[in-house]
C-alpha cells in the first residue's frame, strides 16, 4: 500500500502542495492528472523519497522520509520525466544500471528481455545519446522494469513510479507502454503514473487523483473523476466528457462557447 497523509511541500517560498492525502493499492494502476503547475511531478518525487515534505508517506509500511536509499530501491523503481546522461553509455549499459539496484542482479538476461518489452531489442549497442526522445524514454522504462522485474517479491508488492511515460511517444508505443504498466499491475505490482493524456488514463487506469491549485480535488474511478464539472474546474476551461456504449469516458478537444 502507498499511503499519503496530509502532505505539504514548499519549494523556495512557494507552497506547491497543500494537505494532500491519497492511497494507491498493489494490483492497481493509479494516474495523477491535472493541469500544468498543479504539483503532479512534485508529488511523485515526494512519493519516491527524492524531495522533502511535511506529513506522512509510507510505501509497503516503509516510512519514505526515513528509509535508506537501498530500502526504497528494493521495492520501487522510478522513471523520471527526463533523464540526462553525461557519459557515452550504450543502451544496454543504461538498463544495467537498474539491474544493479534490484534483487535480480544475477539475472543477466533481464536487460535483453526488458528491451524486447519496449521494442528496442536491436538497439542494445547504440549510444544512448544518439537515440530519439521517445527511444530514450523507452530505455528508461526498461531500466526501471529490470529493477522491479517481479511485480511481487518475498517482501511484498513492488512499485513502478512513472512520470509522463507516454509524453514523447507515437500512438503505437503509447499503447505499448500503457499495456506494460497494466500488466505489471495485473500481476500484483503497484503503478503510479503522472499523466496528461486523460483518454489513456481512462482506458488503462483503475484510479485517478485529480490535482489543481496544489491540492487534490477528486479521487476515484475514471468515471467518477472525469466529469464535466470537475475537469472544467481543474483545467479552468469548458470541458465536455463523452461516453460510448460499453466504454469508459473519453474526451475530444473542442471549442465550447
Examine residue 255 and state whether it is found in any structural domain, yes or no. Answer: no
Examine residue 164 and state whether it is found in any structural domain, yes or no. Answer: yes
Q: Is the pLDDT of residue 104 over 70?
A: no
**Model pLDDT, residue 246:** 73
Over residues 17-34, the pLDDT tens digits come to 999 999 999 999 999 999
Report the share of the chain in percent with pLDDT over 70.
95
Q: Per-residue DSSP letters for 208-232? A: EEEEETTEEEEEE-HHHHS-HHHHH
**Model pLDDT, residue 251:** 85
Q: Poorest-confidence range of 43-47, 141-145, 251-255?
A: 251-255
Examine residue 240 and state whether it is found in any structural domain, yes or no. Answer: yes
Name the grid cell of 194. Answer: 503522472
Examine residue 89 and state whether it is found in any structural domain, yes or no. Answer: yes
User: What are the backbone dihedrals phi and psi of residue 188, each rounded to the nearest 5 degrees, phi first?
Assistant: 110, -5
CA 222 vs. chain centroid, Å, equals 16
Give the chain's domain count. Answer: 1
Examine residue 257 and state whether it is found in any structural domain, yes or no. Answer: no
* Nearest residue to 137 (alpha-carbon basis) of 90, 87, 79: 79
* Nearest residue to 230 (alpha-carbon basis) of 254, 205, 251: 251
**Model pLDDT, residue 255:** 62
**Model pLDDT, residue 244:** 73
| Model confidence, pTM | 0.94
Which structural domain range is residue 176 located in?
2-250
> How far, in Å, are 45, 87, 144, 158, 177 from residue 80 at the CA level?
9, 18, 10, 17, 14
Examine residue 256 and state whether it is found in any structural domain, yes or no. Answer: no
In whole angstroms, what is the distance from residue 137 CA to residue 39 CA? 21
Over residues 179-227, the pLDDT tens digits come to 999 999 999 999 999 999 999 999 999 999 999 999 999 999 999 999 9
Across 81-107, average pLDDT: 77
Q: How many CB atoms lie within 10 A of CB 231?
A: 24
Q: Is the pLDDT of residue 43 over 70?
A: yes
Strand partners, 207: 30
Over residues 158-186, the pLDDT tens digits come to 999 999 999 989 999 999 999 999 999 99
Examine residue 50 and state whether it is found in any structural domain, yes or no. Answer: yes
In whole angstroms, what is the distance from residue 111 CA to residue 117 CA? 10
Q: How confident is the model at residue 248 (pLDDT cuts 50, 70, 90)?
A: confident
Examine residue 238 and state whether it is found in any structural domain, yes or no. Answer: yes
User: What is the average pLDDT value for the chain, to the nearest integer?
Assistant: 92
In whole angstroms, what is the distance from residue 52 CA to residue 85 CA? 24
What CATH number is given to the structural domain containing 70? 3.40.50.300
Amino acid at each position: 500500500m502507498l499511503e499519503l497523509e496530509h502532505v505539504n511541500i514548499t519549494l523556495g517560498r512557494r507552497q506547491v502542495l497543500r494537505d494532500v492525502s491519497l492511497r494507491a493499492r498493489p494490483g492497481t494502476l493509479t494516474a495523477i492528472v491535472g493541469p500544468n503547475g498543479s504539483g503532479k511531478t512534485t508529488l511523485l518525487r515526494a512519493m519516491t523519497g527524492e524531495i522533502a515534505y511535511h506529513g506522512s508517506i509510507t510505501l509497503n509500511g516503509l516510512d519514505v522520509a526515513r528509509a535508506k536509499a537501498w530500502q526504497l530501491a528494493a521495492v520501487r523503481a522510478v522513471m523520471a520525466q527526463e533523464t540526462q546522461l553525461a557519459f557515452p553509455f550504450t543502451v544496454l549499459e543504461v538498463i544495467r544500471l537498474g539491474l544493479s539496484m534490484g534483487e535480480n542482479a544475477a539475472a543477466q538476461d533481464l536487460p535483453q528481455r526488458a528491451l524486447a518489452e519496449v521494442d528496442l531489442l536491436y538497439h542494445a549497442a547504440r549510444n544512448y545519446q544518439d537515440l530519439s526522445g521517445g527511444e530514450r524514454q523507452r530505455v528508461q522504462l526498461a531500466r526501471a522494469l529490470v529493477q522491479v522485474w517481479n511485480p511481487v517479491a518475498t517482501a511484498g508488492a513492488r512499485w513502478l513510479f512513472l512520470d509522463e511515460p507516454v509524453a514523447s511517444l507515437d500512438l503505437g508505443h503509447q499503447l505499448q507502454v500503457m499495456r506494460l504498466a497494466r500488466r505489471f499491475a495485473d500481476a500484483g505490482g503497484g503503478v503510479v503514473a503522472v499523466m496528461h493524456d486523460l483518454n489513456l488514463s481512462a482506458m488503462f487506469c483503475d484510479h485517478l487523483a485529480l490535482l489543481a491549485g496544489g491540492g487534490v480535488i477528486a479521487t476515484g474511478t475514471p468515471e467518477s473523476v472525469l466529469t464535466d464539472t470537475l475537469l472544467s474546474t481543474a483545467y479552468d476551461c469548458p470541458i465536455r466528457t463523452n461516453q460510448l456504449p460499453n466504454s469508459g469516458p473519453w474526451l475530444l478537444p473542442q471549442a465550447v462557447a
